[in-house]
A and B are shown apart, each in its own frame.
Chain A
C-alpha cells in the first residue's frame, strides 16, 4: 500500500516532541541553572555544594552503596537466571515470584525492611528466639552506621534484583542451547561452561543490565530515607533537601548535574569494558 513517506515520522513525532520537551529542555535548564551562581559566579553553586557539610559523606555513601549493591545484584541475578534455565516444571511460577519486586516502589521496599529490622521487628524476634540477643536491639540508628548501611543495601538488593533478572533471563533465552551442549560434549565443567561460553555470549545483556542498574543505583533515595532517615546522606537526598528545605534550586541543580555526569561516566566505562568486537557477534 503506497504510504506517505512521512507517515512513520508523523507517528513518532508526538513521542519525540514530548521527550524533547520533558527531557532535553529540563536537561539544558538544569545545566544552565547549576551555573547560575548569582553573585558567586558560575562556579558558585558547585562551590557551595562541595563545601556543604554533607557533601563528602553523601558522595561516599552513594558510591559505597552502588559499589556494594550492583555487583552483588549482578551475581545474584545471573545465579537466579541460570537456576531458571535448569527448571522444567514450575518455572513460570518461580519466575513470577522472583519478579514480584518489579512492582515494588523503592520507598515501599525501604518500609518493608524497616518493618523487619526495627527494634521490635521480626529479625530481632528471630534472633531472640535463637538466643543470640536478649531483647529489642537497635540496628537502625545513628550509632550503628554499619548495620544501617547493610540494611539499606539489603533493601535495595531485595527490590531491584528483579530488574536485572528480567534482562539476564531474556539474554539467556537468546543463547541457543546447542552452545552449552557443545561445550559439555567437548569436556567443559559447569564452571568452564559458565565462564567460557555462557557469560561471553551474555555480554550484550550484561552490558544493558549494568548500565541501567548502575544509573538507577546512583539515584538511590527513598529506601535510604525510609530506613535511615537523614542518618545516611546520599546525593539525591541532598539535592532534595536543597530544593525543598533550603529552597535553593541552583545548588540542587548542581547536585543533579553531578549525578548525571557520574552516570554518563559509568555508562561510558561499561560501554568500553564490555565492548564486543563487531565480528565476534553471533
Chain B
C-alpha cells in the first residue's frame, strides 16, 4: 500500500473519530431537549421516534408554572448574579495585584487559590449551615451565593490575572507620564481593554453558581435554587418534569460557555494561543 492510500485510510479514521466524539457530546443534549419539549406523551412513547409526536413549548411552560419551579429558577438567577458580582469585585483586584506586582505574598496567595480549587469545597457547606442559621443567612439566595463566590473566586482571580498580564504595562506607564493617577490609568486604559475578559469571568462565575448542586441543596429549604429544587423533587416527580428541569438547567449554561469560549484557557490559569 503506498503511503497515500494508508494516509487516506488513517485520515478517514481520524475524521470519523472526531465526528463520533462531536456527536457523543451533542446528541445527549439534543435528546434531553426533545424530552423537554415532548412532554409527558413523548416520554412514554415507545418506541421513540426522532421527532416526538407532540412537540411544543407548552409542556415546558406547564413545567415552569408548577409551583416552586419558577421561584427556584428566580432564586438561581439571583444567587448566580450575586456570585458574579462578588467574585469579580473580590477577584479582579487580586488578579491585578498578581499580574502587576511581584511581592512576597504572591506565591502564598497563588497556593491558597490552588488549594481551594483542588479541595472539596462544597462539603464545607455543611458546617456553614450552623453559622448561617445563627447569622440569619440560612435559606437565602445571598447565603448560597456566598458559598458559590468562594467557589468562583479562584477562577475570577486567575482569569483577571492573566487578562491584566496580557495588557502591556507600558500603556499604564504612558498614562501616568501624561498625568493620570494610578486609579485613573486603570479605569481609562486597562479596564476598557480588559472588559471582554472580565465579562467572561463574570459569566463563568454565573455558570458555576447556576450549576452548583450540593451547597445549594444543603443551605436552602424554602428559597431553593433550581438545582436544589430539582434534587429534592427528583424521586417524586414524573419523568417529563425531570427532563424539562434538566433542559432548563443546561440551556443557559451552554449558551454562556459559548460566550466565554475564547477565555476558556485563561480560566484555568494557563496561557495558550
Contact = CB atoms under 8 A, between A and B. Distances in A.
Chain A in direct contact with chain B (Cβ < 8 angstroms): yes
Interface of A: 1, 3, 7-9, 11-12, 14-16, 18-19, 22-23, 25-27, 29-30, 33, 80, 83, 86-87, 94-108, 111-116, 118, 120-122, 124-125, 128-129, 135-136, 158, 166-167, 169-171, 173-174, 205, 211-212, 215-216, 218-219, 221-222, 225-226, 229-230, 236, 239-240, 243-244, 249, 252-253, 256, 259-260, 263, 267
A229 B118 contact: no
B234 A229 contact: yes
B94 A11 contact: yes
Nearest to B248: A108
Contacts of B122: 219
19 contacts: A7-B101, A11-B94, A19-B113, A22-B128, A23-B116, A23-B150, A97-B26, A105-B249, A108-B32, A108-B246, A114-B239, A115-B35, A115-B239, A124-B47, A170-B270, A170-B272, A219-B122, A249-B127, A259-B120
Given A1-B176, A249-B127, A111 B218 contact: no
A195 to B, nearest CB: 19
Contact of B242 (A96, A114, A236): A114
B126 interface: yes
A158 B250 CA distance: 14
Contacts of B77: none
B4 to A, nearest CB: 17
B253 interface: yes
Contacts of A128: 47
Interface in B85-125: 89-91, 93-94, 96-98, 100-101, 103, 105-106, 109, 112-113, 116-125
B213 interface: yes
Give the 9 A-B CB pairs with smallest separation, nearest first: A111-B246, A105-B211, A103-B253, A103-B257, A11-B97, A170-B270, A26-B124, A29-B127, A22-B150
Interface in B58-106: 89-91, 93-94, 96-98, 100-101, 103, 105-106
Nearest to A20: B112
A19 B153 contact: yes
B253 A105 contact: yes
Contacts of B21: 80, 83, 98
A113 B217 CA distance: 21
Interface string B43-64: 1111110000000000000000
Contact of A18 (B153, B210, B235): B153
Given A12-B105, A97-B26, A171-B270, 5 more contacts: A18-B149, A105-B249, A158-B25, A215-B118, A239-B126
A99 B128 CA distance: 32
Contacts of B235: 229-230
A87 B14 CA distance: 10
Contacts of B117: 212
Contacts of A8: 97, 100-101, 103, 105-106
B98 to A, nearest CB: 8
Contacts of B230: 107, 111
A15 B90 contact: yes
B112 A19 contact: yes
Interface of chain B, helix or strand or loop or mixed? helix
A116 B126 contact: no
Nearest to A98: B25
A253 B202 CA distance: 32
A174 B270 CA distance: 9
A15 B218 contact: no
Interface size range of chain B in the complex: 35 or more
B93 A218 contact: no
A26 B242 CA distance: 33
Contacts of B153: 15, 18-19
A215 B119 contact: yes
A116 B28 contact: yes
Given A11-B94, A15-B90, A170-B265, A112 B47 contact: no
A222 B48 contact: no
Nearest to A17: B90
A171 B273 CA distance: 11
Contacts of B188: none
Contacts of A95: 261
Contacts of A87: 18
Contacts of A173: 272-273
A112 B127 contact: no
B218 A240 contact: yes
A106 B213 contact: yes
A267 B253 contact: no
B195 interface: no
B110 to A, nearest CB: 10
A49 B212 CA distance: 26
